[in-house]
Amino acid sequence: MRAMTDRPVPPPAGSGGAAEQTGVGGAAGARPTEPGGAEPATARGEQTRQLILDTAMRLFRERGYAQTTMRAVAKEAGVAVGNAYYYFSSKEHLIQEFYAETGVEHRARAASVLARETALAPRLRGVLHAGIDTVGPSHEFAAMFFKTAAEPTSPLSPFSAESSPTREASIALFRETLFGSTAKVDPELRDELPELLWLAYLGVVLYWVHDRSPDQAKTRALIDGVVPLIDKLIGLSRLRVLRPVTRDVLGLIRTLRQ
Amino acid sequence: MRAMTDRPVPPPAGSGGAAEQTGVGGAAGARPTEPGGAEPATARGEQTRQLILDTAMRLFRERGYAQTTMRAVAKEAGVAVGNAYYYFSSKEHLIQEFYAETGVEHRARAASVLARETALAPRLRGVLHAGIDTVGPSHEFAAMFFKTAAEPTSPLSPFSAESSPTREASIALFRETLFGSTAKVDPELRDELPELLWLAYLGVVLYWVHDRSPDQAKTRALIDGVVPLIDKLIGLSRLRVLRPVTRDVLGLIRTLRQ
DNA sequence: CTGCGAAGTTGAACGTGTTCGACATCGCGG
DNA sequence: CCGCGATGTCGAACACGTTCAACTTCGCAG
């Protein structure tokens, strides 16, 4: 772990030799289509990519994100540092996979609740709890994830184009939560609501990240307390007296969406 | 900017010599009370600290946060890198000062509105707009500020103990906004509301950070759209029918506060 | 079989934030 | 006026994320 920057010789002229390498030639400047973070084109590539990803995930969980070095990931996976960057353009991009995996597991956990319940409130409550159940084990290291997520320019931001597939899948889950329920929703609200519910879910996760209570009990309390409110609010939105307000809110939301 | 890591000699045995240094002795292990980021004890110290801070702020605004090197700050200020770390324990801590300065200016800008208006809605609206006015010129570099602010463990988090003075001052501003108004508020809500308004302000800033519209027009729209809603909601909270709901919400909030 | 280009792999080098042990300066009691 | 401890200052050294040009491996067209 020492003497990594101590090197009297300016350019060592050749490359080192670790794994068996005996050939000679080859074209020099050949770069893959996407510079960094490319999908592998061969079976071997896919294997290496998965190996690096699994190793990284394991170390992240074992030591935490900040304590896990790219060098450690590479060493543990038995590859060179540069190789990791061939498949993942940055350390943060390794987390993107975690993000996606989390989404898949969230939907799997939510499925049983959605099959069982028909009323909106218990469905929503179940889906939100399923979300916390899913990310639960990764509480400490998820903080890092949300830190970069808060940065607007980051590709990891939940609002970024790069996160679009994961985001859309998550919104679709809330769409099913709503549309599969017996709840009667104002037609004007109907199309916007899934995204709003997803936004509320983001809020819950944001709270969860800051939640230091044992077993994240407070986040559970937040869900249990907020779901009835949302449920009531959705019901109220159909009242004739509140129509103007509903319309105002919807107009504002449409303006704000970027 | 090159050859910073090229150094054949392992340990140069002595320190370098830049500014006039001619003496000899002195105790070796003397460390200040707080390891990194200590308040200066002498006038000279205060001067150096301010110099470093001003230089850093200038460079942050000129080149942006990420593009501003600690080495650049030190060089521009005419001091050594280590000297900067004597007064500020990290690069991020330099932003803490920006945070505090922003709070002071926010209150100054808000004062005129608070002196003029008596109804809650225009007061709140004015204070929120004043906040965006204050932070407006730093839009790009404020993103970085909010990125670290989202991390729960960061001392820069608005919820952290280290941010307590700035946070309390900000909450006090919203207390004045509310209590100085003619609005009649549910007594139970009265004590909690300033903090809730501050929370709403955080939400506005969070939106602002992501707001890429020219002159942050959408954030302005958000404020103008949300203030009447908050105003109405506060008024409604006094209705007898809604008392149970109000009480539920307050109970939830008290539970969630950490 | 041969060679050639694409895909995959390597590790030294770079730039950056941060640490640390040595040194400098200053005020003050003796 | 001397020395001594607290405060301030220095910059090389360190660890880490990231880049890059060289090199290897592999599949396949000829």
List the single residue in B with minimal CA-CA distance to A223. Answer: B252
List the single residue in A with minimal CA-CA distance to B245. Answer: A229
Give the pLDDT of residue A26: 33
- Return the amino acid letter for B11: P
Q: What is the pLDDT along chain B (258 residues), one digit of tens a residue?
A: 333 333 333 333 333 333 333 333 333 333 333 445 667 778 888 999 999 999 999 999 889 888 999 999 999 999 999 999 999 999 989 988 888 888 899 999 999 999 999 999 999 999 999 999 998 877 767 776 677 667 777 777 888 877 888 899 999 999 999 999 998 888 888 889 999 999 999 999 988 988 888 888 999 999 999 999 999 888 888 888 888 888 888 889 998 887
Is the separation of the CB atoms in B234 and B183 below 8 Å?
A: yes
Chain B partners within 8 Å of A212 (Cβ): 152, 258
Give the pLDDT of residue A37: 67
Helix (H, G, I), strand (E, B) or coil at A159: coil
- Return the closest-CA partner of residue A156 out of A91, A93, A70: A93
Chain B partners within 8 Å of A248 (Cβ): 225, 228-229
Cβ within 8 Å of residue B148, ≥6 positions away: A147, B92, B95, B154, B156, B157
Give the pLDDT of residue B76: 97
CB contact (8 A) between residue B218 and residue A149:
no
Give the pLDDT of residue A33: 38
The residues of B between 47 and 76 with beta carbon within 7 Å of nucleic strand C are: 68-71
Is the separation of the CB atoms in B221 and A252 below 8 Å?
A: yes
- Which stretches in chain A have pLDDT values below 50? 1-35
Partner-chain residue, chosen from A209, A222, A228, that has the shortest CB–CB distance to B256: A222
d(CA B237, CA B210): 32
Count residue pairs from A and B with Cβ separation < 8 A: 91
Which bases of chain C are under 7 A from a protein CB atom?
5-27
Residue whose CA is minimally distant from D27 C1'? A42
Give the pLDDT of residue A196: 93
Helices (H), B186-242: 187-190, 193-210, 217-236
d(CA A41, CA B164): 53
Give the pLDDT of residue B5: 33
Helix (H, G, I), strand (E, B) or coil at A7: coil
Give the pLDDT of residue A201: 94
Give the pLDDT of residue A41: 74
Structure tokens at A14: 């050749």
> Is any atom of nucleic acid chain C found less than 7 Å from the CB of residue A22?
no
Give the pLDDT of residue B37: 67
The whole-model pTM stands at 0.80
d(CA A229, CA A226): 5
